[in-house]
Amino acid sequence: MTLFISTRGNNDKLNFEDVMLRGLAPDGGLYVPETWPILSQDEWRNLVGKPYTEVALAVISPFVGNCIPKAELKDMIEAAYASFSHKAVTPLTQLDANQWLLELYHGPTIAFKDVAMQLIAKLMDRALTKRGLRSTIVCATSGDTGGAAVEAFMTCDRIDLFVLHPDEKVSQVQRKQMTTSGSANVFNIAIKGNFDDCQNQVKAMFNNENFRDQVALSGVNSINWARIMAQVVYYVISSLALGGPDKTCDFTVPTGNFGDIFAAYVAKKMGLPMGKLIVATNENDILQRALKTGKYDMHKVIATTSPSMDIQISSNFERLLFEASGRDSDQVNHMMASLKQSDQFEIPAKTLANINQSFAAGRADENAVSATMKSALSDSAKLIDPHTAVALSVAQNHLTDNPMVILSTAHPAKFPDAVKAATDIHPPLPAHLSDLFERTEKYDILDNEADKIMQYIKTNSRVVN
Ligand SMILES: *Cc1c(COP(=O)(O)O)cnc(C)c1O
């Protein structure tokens, strides 16, 4: 049975369900398993060619432990992925002799956030029902998490969902997906600020014990362990499809909050042989600079055509720092205190060297993104979105003899303006979203002020203790 600890060193050890309901640890840290469950090479081999849901059950069960009976977990996984429009859930498509796209956008909101969100909604609803509780979920979004959360939680009666997005900094499709559910338990707040402001507001709410208890606060941002866990599955599936565990492949991941690529690292920690993990950033290249120089140094957020990666505070990076430092929470605390105080920290040399053993990094500027969307169409007959293009562009500088898997995190129709500008093709929305622009929107615009936002949530949440 896996228990979980905080990256910041407080001594609580919690089970999966508690960790999922809490989101962030009370000391401000992120939860990680106390020890990594490891599958043997034979156990991996036995999963080759198995359906997504079966692989998911094998990967997820060791973390969930006895919180959920296995048969019930299996049903929940099957229900979560029945909402995907592709039978393979996350199909691989071939781009050229040795490069592959891992298509993660076949869920209801056509971005990869659905993969984790569809499952976590089911897991949370079950945990709350079992405990006879209700909960208020507050989530910050740079665009895609919000829509995925709305879609996943709009039918959960025990949960009120508040989504904070940066006003006028998400695409129209993204905003409409969040604001048109018509569900009584869903509230959208456009914050006058950027994504980091939204994320900071949510973190401050978690650190406010009073408020946290008043509204029974929960979080489903990628800091929530349950989301990372759900994302490990597609790394396993694609690796096994390309010859694993007897061969390895490299992965290039378009990265913002470091949740998706950290899931790749988890697969490795679980004993699956993995090649290089390549962090691909857009012009908000803090991670790329940090891995090269050892200095994590915040700049201003730049608005790009890949808004879901327009981030300077990459929360899940803390999980990697914890691992790469040899689980030294003092070192992590030191770095996080420095970040809070002076917007920067130094990664100690040994920790950095450990990181660079598993990871590499690159950045793609806006010209490269646009050129890559164009060349993917002409060379591989593939229309890709700008986030995918960031990864595909960066991957070209990291090719080896290993198969290269490029994570395709959004459907091109989610970012039609950038795709049209680069390729002259306007990607149509899939049928289930074709009336999106006729649906009625509902959201409120608030200043980036903690008191006003918390008051809004208290007024509208049905949970008030
Ligand atoms: C969220 C998102 C990313 C970045 O994922 P992280 O887990 O934050 O690194 C990349 N692409 C798209 C389309 C996204 O929605």
Tens digits of residue pLDDT in 359-383: 999 999 999 999 999 999 999 999 9
Whether the Cβ atoms of residue 402 and residue 100 lie closer than 8 Å to each other: no
Half-sphere CA count of 207, side-chain side, radius 13 A: 11
Ligand 1 atom at minimal distance to the Cα of residue 259: 7
- Round to whole Å and give the CA distance between 139 and 17: 19
Ligand 1 atom at minimal distance to the Cα of residue 414: 13
Can you give the length of the chain in residues? 465
How far does the centroid of ligand 1 lie from the alpha carbon of residue 21, in Å? 22
Please report the pLDDT score of residue 168 as a whole number.
93
> What does the DSSP 8-state code read for residue 300?
P
Q: Among residues 90, 72, 94, which one has the least CA distance to residue 81?
A: 90
How far does the centroid of ligand 1 lie from the alpha carbon of residue 209, in Å? 29
Secondary structure (3-state) at 92 = strand
Please report the pLDDT score of residue 3 as a whole number.
97
Q: Residue 375 to residues 18, 129, 150, 276, 379: CA-CA distances in angstroms? A: 47, 50, 34, 24, 6
Please report the pLDDT score of residue 151 as a whole number.
96
For ligand 1, pick from 257, 312, 411 the residue to mutate: most ligand atoms within 8 Å of CB: 257
- Round to whole Å and give the CA distance between 284 and 298: 9
Ligand 1 atom at minimal distance to the Cα of residue 410: 13
Ligand 1 atom at minimal distance to the Cα of residue 144: 15
Please report the pLDDT score of residue 392 as a whole number.
98
How far does the centroid of ligand 1 lie from the alpha carbon of residue 116, in Å? 12
Question: Would you say residue 267 lies in a domain?
Answer: yes
- Round to whole Å and give the CA distance between 422 and 160: 39
Atom 8 of ligand 1, nearest CA residue:
257
Question: Would you say residue 446 lies in a domain?
Answer: no
End-to-end CA, the chain: 32
Atom 1 of ligand 1, nearest CA residue:
308
How far does the centroid of ligand 1 lie from the alpha carbon of residue 288, in Å? 15
Burial pattern 226-241, b for ≥16 Cβ within 10 A else e, equals: bbbbbbbbbbbbbbbb
Question: Would you say residue 246 lies in a domain?
Answer: yes
For ligand 1, pick from 223, 231, 308 the residue to mutate: most ligand atoms within 8 Å of CB: 308
Question: Would you say residue 342 lies in a domain?
Answer: yes
* Element spanning 423, H or E: helix 416-423
Q: How many domains, in total, are found in the chain?
A: 1
Q: Is the previous residue joined to 245 through a cis bond, with omega within 30 degrees of 0?
A: yes
Question: Would you say residue 100 lies in a domain?
Answer: yes
Secondary structure (3-state) at 233 = helix
For ligand 1, pick from 151, 260, 286, 363 the residue to mutate: most ligand atoms within 8 Å of CB: 260
How far does the centroid of ligand 1 lie from the alpha carbon of residue 260, in Å? 7
Please report the pLDDT score of residue 158 as a whole number.
94
- Round to whole Å and give the CA distance between 352 and 111: 31
The residues near 103 (Cβ < 8 Å, ≥ 6 apart) are 86, 90, 91, 92, 93, 408
- Round to whole Å and give the CA distance between 45 and 108: 31
The residues near 238 (Cβ < 8 Å, ≥ 6 apart) are 90, 92, 100, 102, 249, 405
Whether the Cβ atoms of residue 307 and residue 335 lie closer than 8 Å to each other: no
How far does the centroid of ligand 1 lie from the alpha carbon of residue 162, in Å? 20
Structural domain including 388 reads 92-110+225-423
Ligand 1 atom at minimal distance to the Cα of residue 105: 13
Which residues are identified as catalytic?
113
Question: Would you say residue 71 lies in a domain?
Answer: no
Secondary structure (3-state) at 232 = helix
- Round to whole Å and give the CA distance between 104 and 95: 15
* pTM for this model (two decimals): 0.95
Q: Among residues 233, 203, 262, 205, which one has the least CA distance to residue 114?
A: 233
Q: Is 65 left (phi over 0), alpha (psi -120 to 50) or beta?
A: left
For ligand 1, pick from 112, 173, 178 the residue to mutate: most ligand atoms within 8 Å of CB: 112
Ligand 1 atom at minimal distance to the Cα of residue 257: 8
Q: Among residues 50, 3, 437, which one has the least CA distance to residue 233?
A: 50
Please report the pLDDT score of residue 207 as a whole number.
87
How far does the centroid of ligand 1 lie from the alpha carbon of residue 307, in Å? 9
Low-confidence residues in the chain, pLDDT < 50: none
Please report the pLDDT score of residue 1 as a whole number.
76
Q: Among residues 368, 443, 464, 447, which one has the least CA distance to residue 178?
A: 443
Whether the Cβ atoms of residue 289 and residue 295 lie closer than 8 Å to each other: yes
Question: Would you say residue 42 lies in a domain?
Answer: no
Binding-site residues, ligand 1, Cβ < 6 A: 111, 113, 144, 222, 254-260, 308-309, 387, 409-410
Half-sphere CA count of 407, side-chain side, radius 13 A: 27
Q: What is the CATH number of the domain that holds 335?
A: 3.40.50.1100
Please report the pLDDT score of residue 23 as a whole number.
87
Residue that has been written with the tokens 């605390």 in this structure: 333
Joined tokens for residue 19: 């960790």
Please report the pLDDT score of residue 203 as a whole number.
87
Joined tokens for residue 389: 């293009």
How far does the centroid of ligand 1 lie from the alpha carbon of residue 11, in Å? 31
Please report the pLDDT score of residue 171 as a whole number.
86
Question: Would you say residue 201 lies in a domain?
Answer: no
List the alpha helices (DSSP H) in 258-385.
259-269, 286-293, 317-324, 329-342, 349-358, 366-380
- Round to whole Å and give the CA distance between 303 and 6: 33
List the alpha helices (DSSP H) in 270-348.
286-293, 317-324, 329-342
Atom 14 of ligand 1, nearest CA residue:
308
The bridge status of strand 277-281 relative to strand 250-254 is parallel
Burial of 96 (0-12, 13-18, 19+ CB in 10 A): exposed
